[in-house]
Structure 1
Amino acid sequence: MSSPLCQRAARCGSAALTLLVAASAGPVVFAPAAHAANSCPWVGSTAPVDQRVDEVMARITQNKEVSLVHGNGSTQPYVGNVPAISRLCVPALGLEDGPAGIGDGMTGVTQLPAPVASAATWDTALEQRYGAVIGAEDAGKGASVALSPTINIVRDPRWGRAFESLGEDPYLAGKMGAADITGTQSQGVLAQVKHLAVYNQETHRNSAADNADVSERTMQEIYLPAFQAAARAGASSVMCSYSWVNGQDACANPYLLNTAMKSQFGFKGFVTSDWGATHSTINSAYNGLDMEMPGGGYFGAPLNSAVNGGQVAKSRLDDMVRRILRQMFAFGLFDRKPSGSPGAVVTSDAHSTTARQVAEEGSVLLKNAGGVLPLRPSTVHSIAVIGADADSKARTAGGGSAGVKAPYVVTPLTGITHRAGSGIKVAYDDGSNPSSAADLAGSSSVAVVFASTFESEGSDLGTIDLSSADNSLISAVAARNPHTIVVLNTGSAVTMPWIDQVAGVFEAWYPGQEDGNAIAALLFGDTNPSGKLPVSFPRSLTDVPASTQQQWPGANGQVRYSEGVDVGYRWYDTKDITPLFPFGYGLSYTTFSYDDLFVAGPDAHGTVNVSATVTNTGRRQGADVAQLYVGDPASTGEPTHQLKGFQRVDLAPGASTTVHFTLTTKDLSYWDQNAHGWTAPAGRYRIAVGDSSRTLPLTGTVTLTSTTAPPSGAVTGIAGLCLDDRGASLANGTPIQLYDCNHTGAQKWTVTSDHRLTVLGKCMDAANGATANGTLVQLYDCNGTGAQIWEPQPNGALYNPQSGRCLDDPGATAERETQLQLYDCNGTHAQKWQLPERM
């Protein structure tokens, strides 16, 4: 997002660092608020969230409703502010920038590595800790909404915000984004995932000239899946983007906001506009926007007038407010006293430790010729550290709303000097003269050259090359010392014309405040490199998927997404273009082998089980990331293969482990644009396992035949009774009940690949999309919402991810005509269901 402050060049383009005193700030502990007087009985109440929302809605005036759906126009104390409603005990909302830590110039915070570095860890547990640091520090600052994570797909390495996103693959971005959200929200702070959607460049941003001409299939397969993963992870809110998509601005785009996010994905949170990205009142309201930021130019007085005049239904305003209040109740904002303040010091030693671990795990070793690394005191007696980026201009963070002030910065020169100790001489040259630099390198055992590019919100890069000065410096140094190692601090892929001249290369991204400690640990082998590229590195700009002017940055008000689903490695692998370094690639100081591929299925429910053995064949402990790719039949027009699973493993020398992956029919499906849905056609699907998109030593197949129809038949529960459409009715709202099994059409259920249960052409549905215990289950038109998703669990339960609850026989009655409900998953017989087998 971009606040008015971020639109000023000084804020967007500065990486200024401020030295602050760090203080301990552990996990946030919230003090419960005292029970309010009878004027606010919903405060401190144990009633279900929806009931508490109803109580507020019964008392709130229209004017106050409008006050909740827009900011107050101020950037103080937070970048976005929604004032409290004291009479109703509705707390204020403070929205604060991320996603690499607390932004907007706040001090006393942790400067985490850029999100692209966290994505390069492929470590969901560490990503959850990354999010928890953000959540804890937001809470300590008194902010209630963290504007993160950024999960937009890196369509092109020139994107100015590539550094703050999670890579080029929707599966990886979805998994890492979901972990980030879980971590943030574990601290009682709402995560606002961004930016919905098809937002992939800064050129012409927030104008109709940035109109993405993109197919429905491309959106569903590439640009929307990570947002579905965010919705399933329970993201409280989503920010719409600066893009125009197929002729409509994203914050008033009915396909993105209503069809996909709210209906198809079952998203129950609220949608906030990026700062200044609201461009209408009536269209934005009806097409799914719930909150305008930072002011109320469209959702303030104009919205009030539109409701009074009948242009916007009062029920739509009510829906906006309900979505906001529901999340405020769910995260306890009504029930605890306000705490934290913008001036608080919220960084801590624990947070710095997390920052360092992400920087270490996220750095990717791209080349290590002749085993030049790790550096060994027995062979390395002197080190030449070269480049301004190693010292005075250490590139630790990107710019814009993702820029974070560091409490301190450990420069690479400081980190290397400290780690080298007294036994190794460390000398420094800033590289301004490639020849007091080449001479230093020639007289040293090893030369380590630091180079960078700078990315920031608000502008794109014109090239993917380093500066000519940096390229000349690296070449000059390498010519004098064959043991030259290059450390890159970039936000995305860069070219490397000197790659054959140097012995080693690290991509360290923007590593945050622990920069020098992390790179020193990696260079000396205290930490074994384990990062894997979340983006492909092309050999030249002519190789990228969006290589024409029409594709990037567009022409005549159109940005043609004509590469379709062939984004990133999908493009290089399908077109047989050899990248400089492929997606998923990264070296280690040990080696790994892959063996014993096992592929079984599909079983009765369309599940395919895959396993393989990973062995550490080297001499030291290390981690690798086992990656599973699926290649669809050629008839589908899908890319050669696509990531559908990954598992990080840490192994001692000689040790082996078995990695397991589970694929559903959805993982084998593509988006049928004519049917507006997912389909998995008959044919042979290729299964490949390895540790990059180009290193897949294990391959197998799974075959879907024309008789591989979805399972269809009776669904039985407690006492052998069957799920039944009462009276075989086709009316919406008809109860789904228990009844004697009778083999009629009212009991012939089909289990679809996306976990819907259909009967007589309609779907089993949680009434009114509600999520509370006791919500009745009914028959309803199939609409793709989360209210109609029923995921089978190993214990026989049918889990509804929208509510976090299970299909339940009330009271375990085992009585005919009992209408089923949602209830907390408890593993009892009242929640055990036997699905039909595939014929």
Structure 2
Amino acid sequence: MNRRIVLWAVLVAALSNCLIAVIDAPNNAQAATPRCPWVGSSAPVKTRVAQVMGAMALPQKIALLHGQLGSSYAGLTPAIAALCIPAMNFQDGPAGVGDGLTGVTQLPAPVAAAATWDPVAERHYGAVLGAEEAGKGTTVTLAPTVNLVRDPRWGRAFESTGEDPYLAGRTGAALIEGIQSQGELAQVKHLAAYNQETNRNTAADNAVVSTRALQELYLPAFGTAVKSAAVASVMCSYSTVNGTPACQNKLLQNAVLRDEFGFDGFVTSDWFATKSTVASANGGLDIEMPDGAYFGSALSAAVAAGTISMATIDNMVAGILTQMFGFGLFDRAPTGSPAQIVTNDAHVAVARSVAAEGTVLLKNKGNSLPITSAVRSIAVIGDDAADHPQYTGGGSASVRADYEVAPLLGIQRRAPAGTSVLFDPGVSATSAAATAARADVAVVFASKFEAEESDLSSIDLSASLNNLISAVAAANPNTIVVLNTGSAVTMPWIDGVAGVLEAWYPGQENGTAIAQVLFGDVNPSGHLPVTFPRSLADVPAQTLAQWPGVDGNVQYSEGLQVGYRWYDQQGIVPLFPFGYGLSYTKFAYSDLHLSPVNAGGSLTVAATVTNIGSRTGSDVAQLYIGAPAAVGEPPKQLKGYKRVTLSPGASTRVYFPLSLKDLAAWSTAANAFVTAPGSYDVWVGDSSRDLPLHTALTVASGRPGRTVSLTNPGPVDVAVGTGFGQQIVGSDSAGAALTYSASGLPAGVTVSGDGLLSGTALRAGTTTVTVTASDSSGAAGTTTFILTVNPAPAGGGRTGPVTGLAGLCLDVRGDSNVDTTAVEIFPCNGTNAQQWTPHSDGTLRALGKCLDAAAAGTRDGTRVQLYTCNGTGAQQWSVSGSALINVGSGLCLDVPAGLPAPGSQVQIYHCNGTAAQQWTLP
């Protein structure tokens, strides 16, 4: 979706005086009233949904099913005051808060996050995105993009998560977990077979794709988003799939998404992607965006005519309300606004870390990197180094930063004292070569721009850039090339350079991050999420019929042979294979072992990884499986990965869980996934073409002896300090007893051996809970859902503002609960960032985390921050009169210099009885 289209539509609607009437002006979650008993209720979400729907008239239901133009956000469903239904604000995007809003963090492109192969880093990335969207007043974050990179010419490859469905699914799930941990509803996109910009949203973009390819390649990442991350919403795509527009495609939205994957949220159209009223409503679409061209009066008329049933309307509304209740939207006052500054140092640190961690070292001849103190002069070459660096891609994933660090500046700041940094803009290859010849090392920066709404005509850098790199390399054999691209590019100069780094679109911390890698402060550990071919002639889409299509049809005739699957099947050696990435150290793999397959059809693959180099570094151990030839699968497919960090000489054991279901292929005859008996190849290594460990797994029967299934409660909504119970019921196919465990439970909540989740949640927040039930044979099943813990209702506890000097409130900067976020004094505004709860353990909590003396400091001037509660004295506070004394240090919570300056970060300081240390608790 491109914001410019929406702005144009707003203008047209205003000029024609056709703006849809606002259902309700205020964007407020209402306090409980006799007319809204579902607000603040402890009843199950399903009960509350039924209560609201029982009070809704058809026009009110219709109002929830389409967007309204004229909002400050990319999309809006308006509030309905009569029913205490809050508005929902929809906003881009995958790489940070988009659509031109300022005061935000410009994160690296999502492809860089995918290149980390690090779920922890990806969750942090998502948490920053979710926190900043919430701070801007957004309800639904339009991210992540999990469409596969079918071809490197795709204009949105930079905002995707790679070419492999397993990697895309795991990366997408981690991003979703991060986003939704901030109380934001994530919207995974774009369902489905949306893999090019050419002819998009037109009749000429019909993806002709087999059911097998859909099921094995283009749909699994969405299934992972639902099953592993309990994603709240899905965006259907501009594509027509096998003759049916995606947003009215029953197979995609009903049969697969809901029936097969178990999705219980809502489906939103991409902006202006809705093509019909009756077919879309009956085909599984819930919300039309950005207006009601098809789901406004036309939807009401279709209900009156009987072409759409009230049962269908009710199902659409129920999916929306279920997520709104599940995420606590009815029970917490909205916070944030588009004008609010939401970036902060902690968020920028995440952006910088992901940019560095996602950088992939592709070549390092003679250990030319990292740059050492022996290097006395560095030539920095290229327009991308200083005047026009490539920070971000274009379209709805473009993000405006308040500042950006150019590579030249980052290198100048980091270069050791006495090392000269020369610069040439690269306008003249001759001049650049002369500059390079005067330096010990030359670093050339080169980019290729990608953007929504257009595809690339080639995967080559510009001729001038290729000539520039060749000229510099000829002048200086110690030439390093840093690429800022969104996907694969060719490298005709590869044999002449000493090193190559792929840094993607690294966001606002570009220069700082790349300098950390170049000088060895960060050991590169990124691995490619896409294959880099030697030329465009090698890519899977070999014909015009495949790309960009002929006569309105795009033939996905390559079938399952996408990305590395194609290169393996065809015996083509790529320039750099999928999963590839070097380090400044070296790793060895050994001792591959497979456990026996248990009665539940599960086993574990284990291997040892050893750092045999001289530096601490990280590697990504990758598991690939090859099916028996008769199954007709690609030669090998990614089925697991583990990122490990090891000091020199250290070893660790990595474990990959595997089940017979993971080996299944789609059977057209059975119309289902089937695991064939036979011998399966098992490989472990650190790229798809470097797999030193191999063994075979013999499968006698594809049907496990036992299966375990669990009920899913859907999203659960509770309040801080309120006891609750949620029973999860499991069923074992053999009737065996089950034992339950759970991950993601909030503090104060436990799971019993019989599947009862119970307790009293201690702090507010949103978490993804996974419950596992297993029997004595090893058969197991899981279910995943969202659990939202809302702040205690006003008047129902001691939650409220902490006021201090000049009546200013203790405030969490930027409404962010990311660890190390500054706590400041700020004008009181009633937001959640100023709602503090004193706990019996001596902590003072807001946004689900604790008031904390940074780094457990005990000196005057130690800054105070928000941090994950850990039970240390740095987070315990005692009350003495009006003073708050930090137990760990004995110092008082203090406003620096006694100056009531809004935005001033508070500190701890020796207790002195001044007004700067006087506080009023809730």
User: Shorter-chain TM-score category?
Assistant: 0.7 to 0.9
- The structure-2 alpha-carbon separation of the partners of 1:464 and 1:793, relative to structure 1 and needing over 3 Å to count, comes to farther
The match for 1:539 is 534
> Unaligned 5+ residue runs, structure 2?
9-27, 718-724, 758-768, 781-922
Kept in 1, the 8 Å contact 2:726–2:756? The answer is no
Matched, 1:797 2:740: yes
Q: Deviations over 1:28-66 (max 9, x none)?
A: xxxx97842212111111111111111101111100100
Matched, 1:2 2:13: no
Measured after TM superposition, the shift of residue 609 of structure 1 is 1.2
**What is the CA–CA distance in structure 1 between the aligned matches of 2:647 and 2:58, rounded to whole Å?**
64
The match for 2:170 is 175
Secondary structure at the aligned position of 1:219 is classed as: helix
**What is the CA–CA distance in structure 2 between the aligned matches of 1:245 and 1:331, rounded to whole Å?**
32
Secondary structure at the aligned position of 1:402 is classed as: coil
**What is the CA–CA distance in structure 2 between the aligned matches of 1:86 and 1:605, rounded to whole Å?**
51
Measured after TM superposition, the shift of residue 73 of structure 1 is 2.2
The match for 1:723 is none
Counterpart of 2:387, as a letter, is: S
Measured after TM superposition, the shift of residue 663 of structure 1 is 0.4
Matched, 1:710 2:710: no
Measured after TM superposition, the shift of residue 602 of structure 1 is 1.6
Matched, 1:570 2:565: yes
Measured after TM superposition, the shift of residue 335 of structure 1 is 0.5
For 2:68, which of 72, 85, 109 is the aligned residue? 72
The match for 2:230 is 234
Kept in 1, the 8 Å contact 2:743–2:771? The answer is no
- The structure-2 alpha-carbon separation of the partners of 1:294 and 1:543, relative to structure 1 and needing over 3 Å to count, comes to same
**What is the CA–CA distance in structure 2 between the aligned matches of 1:659 and 1:534, rounded to whole Å?**
21
Counterpart of 1:399, as a letter, is: G
Secondary structure at the aligned position of 2:591 is classed as: strand
Q: Deviations over 1:227-256 (max 9, x none)?
A: 000001110000000101000010011111
Counterpart of 2:285, as a letter, is: L
**What is the CA–CA distance in structure 2 between the aligned matches of 1:264 and 1:466, rounded to whole Å?**
43
Kept in 1, the 8 Å contact 2:29–2:86? The answer is no
The match for 1:354 is 350
Matched, 1:507 2:502: yes
Measured after TM superposition, the shift of residue 835 of structure 1 is 6.1
The match for 2:337 is 341
**What is the CA–CA distance in structure 1 between the aligned matches of 2:170 and 2:732, rounded to whole Å?**
19
Measured after TM superposition, the shift of residue 100 of structure 1 is 0.2
Kept in 1, the 8 Å contact 2:128–2:179? The answer is yes
Kept in 2, the 8 Å contact 1:43–1:334? The answer is yes
- The structure-2 alpha-carbon separation of the partners of 1:613 and 1:810, relative to structure 1 and needing over 3 Å to count, comes to closer
**What is the CA–CA distance in structure 1 between the aligned matches of 2:127 and 2:37, rounded to whole Å?**
31
Secondary structure at the aligned position of 2:452 is classed as: coil
The match for 2:618 is 623
Kept in 2, the 8 Å contact 1:791–1:800? The answer is no
For 1:398, which of 393, 397, 419 is the aligned residue? 393
Counterpart of 1:605, as a letter, is: G
The match for 2:253 is 257
Secondary structure at the aligned position of 2:509 is classed as: helix
For 1:58, which of 48, 54, 62 is the aligned residue? 54
The match for 2:518 is 523
Measured after TM superposition, the shift of residue 680 of structure 1 is 1.0
For 1:659, which of 641, 651, 654 is the aligned residue? 654
Measured after TM superposition, the shift of residue 788 of structure 1 is 9.3
**What is the CA–CA distance in structure 2 between the aligned matches of 1:347 and 1:607, rounded to whole Å?**
44
The match for 2:580 is 585
Counterpart of 2:37, as a letter, is: P
Give the alignment of 1:99-114 within 5 angstroms. 99-114=94-109
Kept in 1, the 8 Å contact 2:6–2:290? The answer is no
The match for 1:730 is none
Task: Tell me the TM-score normalized by structure 1.
Answer: 0.84
The match for 2:302 is 306
**What is the CA–CA distance in structure 2 between the aligned matches of 1:682 and 1:149, rounded to whole Å?**
36
Measured after TM superposition, the shift of residue 206 of structure 1 is 0.4
Kept in 1, the 8 Å contact 2:740–2:771? The answer is no
**What is the CA–CA distance in structure 2 between the aligned matches of 1:674 and 1:2, rounded to whole Å?**
41
Counterpart of 1:295, as a letter, is: D
The match for 1:288 is 284
Measured after TM superposition, the shift of residue 794 of structure 1 is 12
Measured after TM superposition, the shift of residue 710 of structure 1 is 2.8
Q: Deviations over 1:745-780 (max 9, x none)?
A: xxxxx53xxx55xxxxxxx9779x999977897xxx
The match for 1:726 is none
**What is the CA–CA distance in structure 2 between the aligned matches of 1:689 and 1:579, rounded to whole Å?**
20
Looking at both structures, which has the greater relative contact order when contacts are Cα pairs under 8 Å and sequence separation is at least 6? 1
Counterpart of 1:314, as a letter, is: M
Kept in 1, the 8 Å contact 2:740–2:754? The answer is no
Secondary structure at the aligned position of 1:400 is classed as: coil
Q: Deviations over 1:327-368 (max 9, x none)?
A: 011111111112101000000000000000000000000000
Q: Deviations over 1:524-567 (max 9, x none)?
A: 10110000000000000010011210100110111110111111
Give the alignment of 1:345-744 within 5 angstroms. 345-378=341-374, 380-706=375-701, 709-711=703-705
Secondary structure at the aligned position of 1:688 is classed as: strand
- The structure-2 alpha-carbon separation of the partners of 1:451 and 1:789, relative to structure 1 and needing over 3 Å to count, comes to farther
Measured after TM superposition, the shift of residue 825 of structure 1 is 9.0
Measured after TM superposition, the shift of residue 809 of structure 1 is 7.1
Matched, 1:219 2:162: no
Secondary structure at the aligned position of 1:423 is classed as: coil
Measured after TM superposition, the shift of residue 3 of structure 1 is 3.4
Give the alignment of 1:321-332 within 5 angstroms. 321-332=317-328
**What is the CA–CA distance in structure 1 between the aligned matches of 2:7 and 2:575, rounded to whole Å?**
35
Matched, 1:200 2:195: yes
Secondary structure at the aligned position of 1:262 is classed as: helix
Q: Deviations over 1:398-421 (max 9, x none)?
A: 000000001110100000011114
Measured after TM superposition, the shift of residue 674 of structure 1 is 1.4
> Unaligned 5+ residue runs, structure 1?
9-31, 712-749, 757-763, 778-786, 813-823
Kept in 1, the 8 Å contact 2:739–2:753? The answer is no
The match for 1:318 is 314
Measured after TM superposition, the shift of residue 608 of structure 1 is 2.0
Counterpart of 2:341, as a letter, is: V
- The structure-2 alpha-carbon separation of the partners of 1:509 and 1:683, relative to structure 1 and needing over 3 Å to count, comes to same
Secondary structure at the aligned position of 1:406 is classed as: coil
- The structure-2 alpha-carbon separation of the partners of 1:494 and 1:443, relative to structure 1 and needing over 3 Å to count, comes to same
- The structure-2 alpha-carbon separation of the partners of 1:89 and 1:791, relative to structure 1 and needing over 3 Å to count, comes to farther
Counterpart of 1:138, as a letter, is: E
Measured after TM superposition, the shift of residue 2 of structure 1 is 2.8
Q: Deviations over 1:373-414 (max 9, x none)?
A: 000111x11111000000110100000000000111010000
Measured after TM superposition, the shift of residue 709 of structure 1 is 4.2
**What is the CA–CA distance in structure 2 between the aligned matches of 1:355 and 1:369, rounded to whole Å?**
29
**What is the CA–CA distance in structure 1 between the aligned matches of 2:593 and 2:571, rounded to whole Å?**
28
**What is the CA–CA distance in structure 2 between the aligned matches of 1:319 and 1:835, rounded to whole Å?**
39
**What is the CA–CA distance in structure 2 between the aligned matches of 1:443 and 1:342, rounded to whole Å?**
50
Secondary structure at the aligned position of 1:603 is classed as: coil
How much identity, in percent, do the aligned residues show?
A: 57
Counterpart of 2:148, as a letter, is: I
- The structure-2 alpha-carbon separation of the partners of 1:247 and 1:334, relative to structure 1 and needing over 3 Å to count, comes to same
Counterpart of 2:281, as a letter, is: A
Kept in 1, the 8 Å contact 2:93–2:143? The answer is yes
**What is the CA–CA distance in structure 1 between the aligned matches of 2:770 and 2:246, rounded to whole Å?**
37
Secondary structure at the aligned position of 1:53 is classed as: helix
Task: Tell me the TM-score normalized by structure 2.
Answer: 0.77
Kept in 2, the 8 Å contact 1:239–1:274? The answer is yes
Kept in 1, the 8 Å contact 2:743–2:770? The answer is no
- The structure-2 alpha-carbon separation of the partners of 1:193 and 1:766, relative to structure 1 and needing over 3 Å to count, comes to closer
Measured after TM superposition, the shift of residue 796 of structure 1 is 2.6
Secondary structure at the aligned position of 1:435 is classed as: helix
Kept in 2, the 8 Å contact 1:792–1:798? The answer is no
The match for 1:721 is none
The match for 1:19 is none
Q: Deviations over 1:703-753 (max 9, x none)?
A: 0125x6431xxxxxxxxxxxxxxxxxxxxxxxxxxxxxxxxxxxxxx53xx
Measured after TM superposition, the shift of residue 459 of structure 1 is 0.4
**What is the CA–CA distance in structure 1 between the aligned matches of 2:437 and 2:770, rounded to whole Å?**
67
Measured after TM superposition, the shift of residue 197 of structure 1 is 0.5
CA RMSD of superposed structures (Å)? 2.8
